[in-house]
Amino acid sequence: MTSLIEIVRRNNSTFYDNRSGKKKSVVARTLLFVTLSLISSWVLGTPSDTVVSAVITVQSILVGFGFSVIFFLVSSERENEDGANGIEDRIRRKRLNTLSDELFFNISYYNVVTFFSVTLSLLFAFNIDGVSSFAGGVVADLDIQGGVKDNLRQYVEWAHHILIAFLFFVLLESVFTFYRIVIRVNFFFDQKRKVKSQRIDPPVDRVVGK
């Protein structure tokens, strides 16, 4: 069974320049999303019930799309590179096989971040503000020094904001990942169509050679 770390690693390995093959760093994007998430958590606060319901509904629909693509990738036969009609067709088939593996981990990663976003949304649907207030009340009733009480109350508040920030982060990550998946799936089927046309109409020199 593929571990969570392996899914993240394999997804990050799909960021590269298509022409040169040079790897692209994901650090800048991650830092940007973390910054935006932290700012949003303090400015926007706890998501409303409407936002939570919308997140759960939309993410559930998109996960269904992701699983349908995974099912197609797993059930489809890999392209036979040895049966290619020329060098260009061979390169395209090899690229299709590589892209199929990459899409599997792209969608797996999307499912992971979506799972976290739905789980956190459900947590906020149960009114985490009330939980935070309850925890703050428990802290206030503890027979400890005032300074420690203030620190504990502050920790509870920080934990609350961190959960909100993490929700915003996985939402940003899921939107970005789904956008990439749509583009890459479109490219995948375009290449698939070209390979299929090569099978139907092989190059003239190949036919003459026979």
The Cβ-side half-sphere exposure at 54, using a 13 Å CA radius, reads 6
Contacts of 161 (CB under 8 A, 6+ apart): 41, 42
134 vs 60: CA distance, rounded Å: 31
pTM of the full structure: 0.79
Rounded CA-CA distance 137/139 in Å is 5
Q: What pLDDT, on a 0 to 100 scale, did the predictor assign at position 56?
A: 87
Check residue 151 and give its pLDDT.
Answer: 67
- List per-residue pLDDT tens for the chain, 210 residues long: 568 899 999 999 999 887 777 899 999 999 999 999 999 888 888 888 888 888 888 888 888 888 888 888 888 777 777 766 778 777 778 888 888 899 999 999 999 999 899 888 888 777 655 544 544 555 455 555 555 556 666 777 788 788 889 999 999 999 999 999 999 989 888 888 877 776 655 555 544 444
Task: Single out the residue of 190, 12, 14 nearest to residue 96, CA to CA.
Answer: 190
Torsion of CA 81, 199, 188, 8, to 10 degrees: -20
Quick one: tokens of 84?
A: 């290619």
Angle between helices 146-200 and 87-125 (to 10 degrees): 150
C-alpha 172/C-alpha 113 separation (Å) is 10
- C-alpha to C-alpha distance for 36 and 58, rounded to whole angstroms: 21
| pLDDT score at 123 | 81
CA–CA dist 46, 167 (Å, integer): 10
Tokens of 141: 């009733």
CB 104 within 8 Å of CB 73: yes
Gyration radius of the chain's alpha carbons? 24
pLDDT of residue 199: 63
pLDDT in tens, 131-165: 445 445 554 555 555 555 566 667 777 887 888 89
pLDDT for the residue numbered 139: 47
Both tokens of 154, joined, read: 């502050």
For the chain, domain boundaries: 25-203
